[in-house]
Structure 1
Amino acid sequence: MDSAESTRHAFADALAAFDSTPSAPLTASEVADAIDCSRRTAYNRLEQLVEDGLLETKKVGASGRVWWRSRPTTASPPTAGLAHGSYESVVSDVFGTADVGVFLLDSDFDVVWINDATVHYFGLDSATVVGRDKRQLIRETIGDVVAEPGDFAETVIATYDDNTYAEEFECRITAGDGRDERWLEHRSKPIETGEYAGGRVELYYDITDQKASERALREREHQFRSLVQAVDEYAIFMLDPDGRVVTWNEGAERIKGCSREAAIGRHVSTFYTEADCAENVPKRNLATAARDGFVRDEGWRVRKDGTRFWANVTISAIRDDDGTLQGYAKVIQDLTDRRERERQLHHERDLVENLFDVSPTGLMVFGTDDDLQRSNSRAKDVLGLSHGECYAAGDVDLVGPDGQPLSFEERPLGRTLKTGEAVTNQVVQGAQATDGDRRWFSISTRPIRDDDGNLEQVVVCADEITELKEQARQLEQQRDSLQHELDEVFARVDDAFYALDDEYRFTYVNDRAAELLGHPEATLRGRNVWEAMDVDADDPIRERFETAMATQESQSFERFSEPLGIWEIVRIYPSESGLSVYFRDITKRKEDEQELAALNHLNTIVRDITDAVIDQSTREEIEQVVCDALAEADVYEFAWIANVDPKTNSVQSRIEAGVDGYIDEVSLSVDSDDPHGQGPTGRAIHTHDVQVTRDAFSDPAFEPWRDLARDYGYQSSAAIPIVYEDTLYGIIGVYSARKDAFQDSESEALGQLGEVVGHAIAALERKHALMTNTVVELEFRIPRFVEGTCPGLDADGEITLDQTIPVGDGVYLQYGTVTDDAVSTLEAFVDELPFWDDVTIMEQAVGDATFELRLTEPPVVSAIASRGGRVKHAHIGDGDLEMTVHLPHSVDVHRITDVLQDTYPETKLMTRHSVVQTDDMATRVAEALVEDLTDRQRAVVEAAYHAGFFEWPRRSSGEEVADSLNIAGPTFHQHLRLAQQKLLGELVAGATASVGE
């Protein structure tokens, strides 16, 4: 047979896998499954079939490959052109004695010829076979000798029904009379030319030995695979010739940390480090194994998760009988633990060597025969030997601390050799130093035993402690000195400090601690702190001390000490011998914190009162709300509000809360020379500032009322003036059981409360003045006003003031007229009077002009306005000033007169009488101005009116009026529109009501 036929015989099973799909491509895995072999074996056979031209192949994807059956050629068979006799002769000569069974069939599929091998394989008689229909022969004879007659008959007869294709398959012949059991490979194809064209030739190859070999090989492979899989201490896997994984055992999964599914098909370089891959180690190892048969290597390898392990690796090349490289077997042993142990052993050995060499301690190793086996250089220095001098145990004289010589058995080495026990820090004296003094040593020994526990060696450590001995002596001298200095330091510690031993007994108490604890140090030293201070068993401070001692962690906390009656901050610093305790009296700080909390509470009260007084409609309601709120506060006992009677210079009660009749019982005066006028109330009346007494029982000024303080249970008091625009509306009295109450912050908050109440009362009085039908009209005259204000100024012309408008923040606008010859006088007033800020001539007419005057805190106008009054009219002519003032009946006329005379001493009150207002419409408009309009809206309307904004043509634009009011133009127009809407609504409603009547 030629080489192609040999390949067909050797790899018939692989080629047969394509019979069912002769044109469809198959993968190596599909072929391996079909013929029951490993993928690698299938791959090698497929490649060989490609080389022989029986299969074709190509690469698919990143790492895949497929194979398919080569197309059959259509060349004429070698029998073409031969005569029938010649053809039979050729066939007989070629196949007659060959090991290949042959059936030659004509176009009717009758047997034309069979050879001896066919007779032998199937147990046939050629004389009875030739000329028979092959179909009948299969059914009646051949079917009886094949193992699966049905499948055999179906497959062969199918080629007769469709004689257009070649067929290949394997079949098993059963043993029988004159025949052996064997495996045959059937190959048949149609005859396309010649005498038997349309017929078919069938060849049967004996593959019994091949099948046996394959079966044995499969069994061996199965056994080997089972063995490999059972071994988990080694990673054992196969690589294809390209270095890709084709098998993967459990050991590989464990060592590499990679599953079989993830590993198969991956290149072996995946499991090398990046450095090895960069050095081409994987490829070089495979090349070496292929060249030399195997390669061994140790180095780092990489698991799937990226971790490294130290591995011993053997790679062996696998070749077939022809020497063709089939792949590689790789065995890996994880030596990480062994390498780590070796590394640790090396490290420990190096460490011991280095310690031995660099140790400042003399180290010596003796055998059980007293022989020195090893020593470092420091040992010879300690022993006082030269580096070339030998030493034996006992060569150096040693004496004990008492100066008596030590026998060998009394020395550390002798004791260990005798008893087998270690000796620790035995102090001895050795050879004398150059100064004649003996040297001191501290010697320790440790026995080394063999595996049976027998003494094998003794390690001796010797330290010279001569300097330490001297230092210890010096330290003892310094200790007393340091103790003395420490006592002085403790004496300078500002905090209270005491020390306790581990049983909580006093060992030291400084003066400050003794002062706070209430016991001298002498009586405390040695006593238990809990007993000495009478601390309850459940006092939390006990747990604090015990925790600090147990954990050896410092503690810091604040507490109120019941035994001491103070707030204290305590810091505990533990040591093994006891506790150091620092504590400081922080009662003052705690009181300050409590005062701050009280102040915050007071601010809340003040805000609540502020909100409440706004909603009240009478002065009495305002005063009652204020007193009730103060009396209900936790920090105060009671409160009252009183007026000042200017006729009697006495204080008259108005409202009380939290107390009954106190203000009637207490004697108060406004006379500063009277002791009853020198208390907080009298001082507040004169100063218009909050006045306090923080300790009623020690303040000399409060002496007249001390009995009352005891009776009513208060220690401090405050008098808060109710003031607005420098007008005193009354006094608020507040009383507290706290000593040292009403500190600066609290007094400031109460002062703000007085201002709020004063503002509210003033607003009510202004409202009452505008809305009431009866007011007090006062006529004042100030002679020589111009001369007194601006000396030397001509008093020609006339100035008339018709309207005064409060703008806010003490600013007022006045509108009036001035004759031409008095304009210079008006301008001179602006220059001379500090509260006249600016004047604007608004419209010039024949003979006179209108003007706008801006004032800031004018004393007369402010005093009148703050009491709910107004300047109705003022006129300056011939140098004199005449002024008409309207005031509510509740206002003290004398106070207004006093203010005018204080400012202008020549002021005279000319007339005083009541004026009745009867215009209901005007009353309603006044009510609307007061009740419906805000302060800003009212100021905008009045300023616009008097500035001529509503005249036509306008004397002032909106922007000019806005500038006078120090507001933006859009803000002016917004306030004006809202005010107009409210006023017009009131007028229309009033007119409608009048018509209805």
Structure 2
Amino acid sequence: MTNGNGNGHGPRASPGSSDPSTRERTNEDRDYQFRALVEAVEEYAIFRLDPEGTVVSWNTGAERIKGYSAAEIVGRHFSTFYTDDDRAAGVPERNLAAAVDNGSVEDEGWRVRADGSRFWANVTITAIRGDDGDLEGFAKVTRDMTDRKRAEEEHQLHVSVSHSLAEAASLEEGLLAVLEEVCQWTDWEVGQAWLPTDDGVAKKLPISYVQSDDFAPFVDESSVFAFEPGEGIPGRVLDAAESVWFPDVTAVSEEIYPRTALAAEMGVKAGLGVPVLADGDVAVILEFYMTERREMDDRLVEVVSAATADLGGLVSRRQAEDELDRERQLLGEMMEAAPVGISVLSADGDVQRMNERAAVLHGRPANAEQPDADSRTYYDEEGSLVPFEERPFALVRETGEPLYDWTAQIEHPDGQRKWLSVDAAPIETDDGELDRVVLIEEDLSELGERYRAIMEAINDVIVTIDETSTIRSVNPAVEDVFGYGRGDLIGEPLTRLMPEEYREKHHAAISRYLETGDQTLDWEYLELPGLRADGTEIPLAVSFSEIRYRGERYFTGVLRDISERKAYQRRIEESNERLEQFAYAASHDLQEPLRMVSSYLQLIERRYGDDLDADGQEFLDYAVDGAERMRDMIDGLLEYSRVETRGDPLEPVELDAVLADVRDDLQVKIREHDAEITAESLPRVEGDSDQLRQVFQNLLDNAVEYSGDEPPRVRIEAERSGDEWVLSVSDEGVGIESGDVDRIFEVFQSLHTPEEGGGTGIGLALVKRIVERHGGEIRVDSEPSEGTTFSFTLPAADDGER
């Protein structure tokens, strides 16, 4: 109730008032406010005990944390919340005694909820005394710290397991370490390991951990079992490759768990099987047991699985070691089969391994003493000896970096010299120290022959120029494409193959790139005209790339004659233009006879309508309706044929304004259907505003028309994708059958009859053509009765803003 002041409280006494009734009301107010505060706290269980430890008050937080309602717990002793072990050890009584002696006591430990589940609690018990100092009871504050406790234990378990695995000298030692750590950090009391065999069963490994020798017989007798996939815990893990939990293995039949009798005799109940995966396959199965029945604990399964994940790494390492041995053998076979010379040198330059091809390149028999780093002599272009510190081995040893395409000459014992291309790479120890250097040597004279064969077989012109744009090499295809012989162009400027107006631009672009690295054109693909020897121009598709060879920069271009493709494109464009002209002419010429038909039908209806019987009137209505639909189809065909020829130039268009106009045009239909059209802020695009208005009008009109029985709900969205915007119009209507999706964009294809509200079949075909005129694409995603989404792309305006 409120008093006259409306503040919810009675008249207040002044601070100095000595009126007992006033003080009593003030104390009651404070007590009420305190109780309201305690009741509102949900993160803490806050309640009172009498001097004997009986619960006398209970707040919302206590009910949430402990699971008891006030009616269920008030009047019961607070030791109800402690575990059996803690009650047997007298922990509740000791805590009360400590609170009496010290004023308060803080404790952490496992507590039990009403449903029997446990949680880790931080508890503070404070003794409450009266003005005379007599004990009136206790205030108890409990906070659920289970997440923190488990996180700490999980972290410690992971650290312990990782440390143990790091020190494990063998797979068996690593398995035992994991079993021991998991059991010691969790509630599991028995741990053992099973191994999938080649015949597809799981057999026990001689590795196990027990917290008490009482469980040793269970481990020993488990050794006689072998589990098929799907049988027992190991077999089920093997079959599913995922963890398996049994709340109580003694409560299931031996067909499901063959060790039921043994488990009952040994006193084990809850069981867990966890796979150890190596490269996705079950490599080992770990099995754990405890003596209490427990429903599946997802958190505990996750903890154990995470702890065993590192074990998978140990298994993988063991498998990797075996694989490494096989790879060493394969590497030796590959080295001998390689078409290049391969040498492996120590950090001191001594030859550790060298294949036969390397020996041949250096002109030495395979069984002769092979050249170490000091005796591998190389000569430069002028025939001078390359100093040792400039040779591949020395450069790699000095820099620690690989070296590619280093070229020089070598001299055979008979005095013959040949050019080699050398790649060199360091191999380092785990400490980052140089261990070995691998040299790969290739005979450039042989490579040159293969290169020439390829170049002569290619129909495209491949030309290489230097930094001055001088042609250094060109393949024979230049004669067919440009009419020049190869000898006519070597040493000539590349601009000889360009029309006059492109030559200065080319020189400026090359100079800018050499100075700044900026490419003014797309080097991967561009179309440019070329100039033939006879002075005629040809269209070319051109791509360029930069290469570096012997310290010099070169540019290689691939020039493809696309004359045939361009001619084909012109034929297609001409054909399309003729088709457009035909469609326009046909549509236009059909208008006159159709107007005559419509006029005479109207004349018949006015003059003879009263004389027609019901059938005659119906036939006349059909004729009139057919003529109107024909007129709509002709109008649509005219619009369709004019998309390319009558469209305005593309320019920045605000789609928000386009949509607003379309809403105005459709406002009557929107009201009649109680339609709701929502749209986020739409972007600015490059387009023809009139044609884009047709796109939105057709899509929105369809979305409203085919909404089904419910009021139409239409959503328009936009998303940026590179230099395009993706627009989508979504509805919740009748949807489209999957078999009809491919034909809805075809001319005169309507999925609905006139009686069902179907149109001319031109609308979506017109939409598709307009989108394609804008360089975009359109698609439809739909499910019957689930609605439809039309998505189409439009080019973004230069500023890219919405």
What's the TM-score, normalizing by structure 2? 0.30
Question: Between Structure 1 and Structure 2, whose CA radius of gyration is higher?
Answer: 1
TM-score (norm 1): 0.25
